[in-house]
Amino acid sequence: MAYLLGVDTGGTYTDAVVLDDTAQRVVASAKALTSRPDLALGVGAAVDAALSRSGVAAREIAMVSLSTTLATNALVEGQGGRIALVFIGFDPAELTRAGLQDALRGDPVIALAGGHDHAGQEATPCDLAGLRDALTALVAGVTGFAVAASFATRNPAHEIAARDLIREVTGLPVTCSHELSSALGGPKRALTAVLNARLIGLIDGLITACETHLATCGITARLMVVRGDGALVSAAIAREKPIETILSGPAASIAGASWLTGETDALVSDIGGTTTDVCLLRDGRPMIDPAGARVGPFRTMVEAVAMRTTGLGGDSEVHVTEGLDAGLRLGPRRLMPIALAARQFPGLVHDALDRALASGVPASDGGQFLLPLWRQIPQGLDAREMIVAERLADGPLRLGTAVQTRMETPALGRLIGRGLVMLAGVTPSDASHVLGLQDCWDTDAATKALTLFARRRTGNSQQIAPDAATLARMIIDQLTAQTVDCLLQAAFAEDSRDWPDPAALAQHPLTRAGLDRHRGTLRIDLALALPVIGLGASAHAYYGAVGDRLGTQMLLPDHADVANAIGAVVGQVQMQASGSVTSPGAGVFNVHLSDKVQNYISRDAALTAIRKALGDQASAAARAAGVEDISLHVTEDIRQVDVEGQPMFIEATVKVIAQGRPRIAAG
């Protein structure tokens, strides 16, 4: 009998599940709070509880698989380490394309001469001396590097040379764009490399936390990680390419949803603490986004499930909209719920809330708190960031105590953006505690926080709500409305009819009338034609009303709260390698691989060579991930034109996928 251990680390909870692979059943599951900055605590608590409840010995675990939303959450919230981009052979204007400048967020750029042409020939020598000078002049605080060179997918030599020099001088992690994608489009490849470099420390910390605890438990099984397209990869590959774990958690949830319900056609909606992820399940498989994964504002070159990710979750920040009749808006930033903060820091939270309530006026800082996420104050902070950090040196503080002038507010924003500090404030999770939908944390603190929040004034000087319970219902209703909007956008986008602007259609008056089942001179009805599978720890609390509003069946399966962890261990390893063949002249065919360029005198010889090279590369990666029974799938796109009745070869792109289940040794 073989037992599998699935682990999923989200923004709020870390889940663990023990699965009987022979009987295809869940043996036991457990949840623990995701612990920051030490992720090992949350991983350890969840794994230990799941093993204890299952009665399965550590030595009987045949495979461990990890999924996570940490990378997705970091990109949605604009967090991650400070990096430097080495930009080789590009015009400065290229920084403004593909969202690259926004992704850099003011981080340094080292622009160098160099790069290759479309055929892979060197256009200009790479200025390695200039790179060495720039590296020595960099200020402290950079945690990694992204390297992107012009036409590096045709010839990666300059990226490789820059990578080697950066490692020699700094010893820091380096991401090369050609290692993440073989597609053309330099700025978009650079964007993907920047995001990858920003995430390396985060994902490395999670994998290390998991590996350390597994070793402590005596679990010697192989550790796999779920990729954004739902496939499993080795922990070593995930460390090197953490960008591939964006949408890892959602991809695992799709596999878990299908496994739990047996449904082959449905919309899957997974609500976490930070995001709501919606994906279409067709014929038992998730749709893959052909344009590359989009997370928040960024379109990457990472192949992943076609997931619509929205900054809406149980821990989303509650905002009051402006205007005479102010309403509420949720997200996209995640806060620590006041109910949870009070459980961890009861004296601080209750004392501050009691004083604010006694004053009888709205709190200037909204009754929010700041929590440092460091063991010691990090390096590389500017003067104002250091002022805020030093106030937080001894632990959490009321927001108004930690930030005392408007000049310090931007500094706080930068600290939050780098994941160094977290805000605690009113969230839907607090509203759920007030209404009795949840009771896992401090309900009394949640009630105090919502009472204080309700004192805020609208544009006509009225309180936004008379009491905590009314405000709580308003927050939950807003969560329902925004979730309905997410599902409608996905439905319009995935419908067989080519609807224009799904976001606008989801909020169109006719759509609203259809959901209201309008009856007048016109009869208007609108409903989803597919069931919705609701996943996530809070799905049972929120999603019943969502199904009613959309006029469809809402499936809330048992173990929906740990669907990601289940999906993490029911997938397959899928390793791919890709390359291209170009012809710069008659009788010359260049094979462009990830590490070199090879020349052939015929098209057929070049295609045969690239198929074999890519097949060997993908198969080796699959074997390294523990797959013994490998199946290969080859896809080719050969472009040629007719010239005077004769075909003329232009270019070919080839992709080889090696897949199979990792070897599972029965206990």
pTM passes above 0.75? no
Task: Count other C-beta atoms under 10 Å from residue 432's C-beta.
Answer: 26
Angle (deg, nearest 10), helices 39-54 and 186-217: 50
DSSP β-bridge partners for residue 299? 294
| Residue 342 in tokens | 């009070």
For 329-361, how does the pLDDT look when each residue is reduced to its tens digit (9 = 90+)? 999 989 999 999 999 999 999 999 999 999 877
Residue 667 predicted with pLDDT over 60: no
Q: Is pLDDT above 80 for 381? A: yes
User: How far lies 448's CA from each of 330, 342, 442, in Å?
Assistant: 20, 11, 10
Predicted confidence (pLDDT) per residue in 393-439, tens digit: 988 999 989 999 989 999 998 898 888 899 999 999 999 999 999 99
Considering only CA atoms, which of 633, 594, 631, 587 is closest in space to residue 613? 594
Q: What is the pLDDT of residues 503-525, one digit of tens each?
A: 999 999 999 999 999 999 999 99
Q: Which residues have a Cβ under 8 Å from the Cβ of 43 and sit 6 or more positions away? A: 7, 9, 14, 16, 32, 206, 209, 210, 213
pLDDT tens-place string over residues 62-118:
999 999 888 877 777 777 788 999 999 999 999 998 889 988 888 999 999 999 998
Res 665: pLDDT? 61
Q: What is the 3-state secondary structure (H, E, C) of 42-80?
A: HHHHHHHHHHHHHCCCHHHEEEEEEEECHHHHHHHCCCC
Taking each helix axis from N to C terminus, what angle separates 346-359 and 443-454, rounded to the nearest 10 degrees? 30
